[in-house]
Amino acid sequence: MRDQETYSDLTDLFTAEDRALDPAPFVNDVMGGIRRKSLFRKLVLGAVGMVGAGVAAVQLPGLLTGWSGLDTLVTQTVTDAQQDASLLATADPIWLMVGGVVTLSLLAITAWEKA
């Protein structure tokens, strides 16, 4: 610290020169760069995530087949039925009931096949 006191007058000169620099454009440039990088990162992660989810969805029937030991056609029907049921939920209650019966029937067939 004693050493630094011997040149504090020079430090003051340099500091005065630095203080004359306009901070606003520089801060805007830096933060703009950070936001651009952040946005790019989010877009890349989002795109990779969507692709991953798509691949996972395509692989789901095959995965279920491997897991339950059932025919691909049966598991495909089960997954289709789940999607149909969610669609039916927005429609007429009678169709919801029909969907429920279909789902129960498919589950029963699946259980029977598995046994």
Does 34 help bind other proteins (rule: CB under 8 A)? yes
Does 5 help bind other proteins (rule: CB under 8 A)? no
Does 41 help bind other proteins (rule: CB under 8 A)? no
Contact 77, 95 (CB under 8 A): no
Does 30 help bind other proteins (rule: CB under 8 A)? yes
Does 7 help bind other proteins (rule: CB under 8 A)? yes
Provide CB contacts within 8 A for 74, sequence distance 6+. Answer: 109, 110, 113
Cα 70 from Cα 79, distance rounded (Å): 13
Provide CB contacts within 8 A for 79, sequence distance 6+. Answer: 60, 61, 64
Does 15 help bind other proteins (rule: CB under 8 A)? yes
List interacting residues with other proteins (CB under 8 A).
1, 3-4, 6-7, 10-11, 13-15, 17-19, 21, 23, 26-27, 29-31, 33-35, 37-38
